[in-house]
Amino acid sequence: MHSSNSVLERLERRIVRLKHRHPSRGAKRTRYQYDLRCQWRTVHRGTKRHGVLARIRPNCSPR
């Protein structure tokens, strides 16, 4: 029998692995694309906790 903690740890490791593979994808797309059984907020929180949250800055042209 697994505790819910170990399930969450496995899920979080998977989320971090996926985020390393596709850094520009957001939490909602990652959750949808890989059919993760959690809310997108959980995906976002996990990536933020492990420091793999990518901030994509828009390309600004000089004026």
Digit-coded pLDDT (tens) for 1-21? 455 677 788 999 999 999 999
Q: Flag whether 58 is in a domain.
A: no
**Residues of the domain holding 43:** 4-49
Digit-coded pLDDT (tens) for 14-48? 999 999 999 889 999 999 999 998 999 999 999 99
Q: Which of 61, 6, 8 is nearest to 39 (CA)?
A: 8
pTM flag (> 0.85): no
Q: Flag whether 9 is in a domain.
A: yes
Report how many domains make up the chain: 1
Q: Flag whether 17 is in a domain.
A: yes
Q: Flag whether 59 is in a domain.
A: no
Question: Tokens standing for 16?
Answer: 């971090």
Residue 2: φ, ψ to 5°: -100, 145
The pLDDT value given to residue 19: 92
- The structure tokens 């600004």 sit at 60
